[in-house]
Amino acid sequence: MRVAVLGGGRSSEHEVSLASAASVAEGLAAGGHEVLAVEIARDGRWLHEGREVAMTAAGGLLGADVAFPALHGPFGEDGVVQGLLECLDVPYVGSDVASSALCMDKVRFKTVMGAAGLPQVEHRGVAEARWRAEPAAVRAELEALGLPVFVKPARLGSSVGIGKVTAADGLAAALDDAFAHDPLAIVEAASTGTEVECSVLGDEDARASVAGEIVLHSDFYDYEAKYEAGGMELVIPARISGAAAGEVARIAVEAFARGGCSGLARVDFFVEGERVLLNELNTMPGFTTTSVYAKLWEADGLTYPALVEELCAIALRRHARSRAHRH
Q: How confident is the model at residue 216 (pLDDT cuts 50, 70, 90)?
A: confident
Q: 43-81: per-residue pLDDT in tens?
A: 999 999 999 999 999 999 999 999 999 999 999 999 999
pLDDT digits (tens, 9 = 90+) for 144-182: 999 999 999 999 875 678 999 999 999 999 999 999 999
- Inform me whether the pLDDT recorded for 226 exceeds 70: no
Q: Is the pLDDT of residue 13 over 70?
A: yes
Would you state the pLDDT for residue 132?
98
Cis peptide before 148 (omega within 30 of 0): yes
Check residue 207 and give its pLDDT.
98
User: Hey, what CATH class is 2-93 in?
Assistant: alpha beta
Q: What is the mean pLDDT of residues 264-286?
A: 97
Residue of 100, 158, 262, 279 marked catalytic: 158
Q: Residues 91-117: pLDDT tens digits?
A: 999 999 999 999 999 999 999 999 999
Residue 205: the pLDDT is 94
| 221: pLDDT strictly greater than 80 | no
Please state whether beta strands 66-69 and 2-8 pair in parallel, antiparallel, or not at all (unpaired): parallel
pLDDT score, position 302: 98
* CATH class assigned to 102-119+192-283: alpha beta
Is 293 annotated as catalytic?
no
Check if 268 is active-site.
yes
Average of per-residue pLDDT values in the chain:
94
Indicate if 13 belongs to the active site: yes
Q: Where are the domains of the chain?
A: 2-93, 102-119+192-283, 123-189
Fold match between 2-93 and 123-189?
Answer: no
Q: Is 80 exceeded by the pLDDT of residue 220?
A: no
CATH architecture of 123-189: 2-Layer Sandwich (3.30)
In the chain, % of residues over pLDDT 70: 95
Region 236-249: mean pLDDT is 98
Indicate if 282 belongs to the active site.
yes
The stretch 176-196 carries a mean pLDDT of 96
Partner residues linked to 280 by β-bridges: 268
- How far is the C-alpha of 226 from the C-alpha of 120, rounded, in Å? 22
Per the annotation, the verdict on 279 as an active-site residue is: no
Q: In the annotation, is 11 catalytic?
A: no
pLDDT of residue 12: 87
Looking at the predicted structure, is the pLDDT value of residue 246 above 70? yes
**8 near 28, Cβ under 8 Å?**
no
The answer to whether 191 is a known catalytic residue is no
The predicted pLDDT at position 223 comes to 52
Of the residues 7, 10, 13, 155, only one is catalytic, namely 13
Asked about 158 being catalytic, the answer comes back as yes
Active-site residue (options: 78, 280, 298, 309): 280
Residue 19 has pLDDT above 90, yes or no: yes
Per-residue pLDDT, averaged over 214-228, amounts to 64
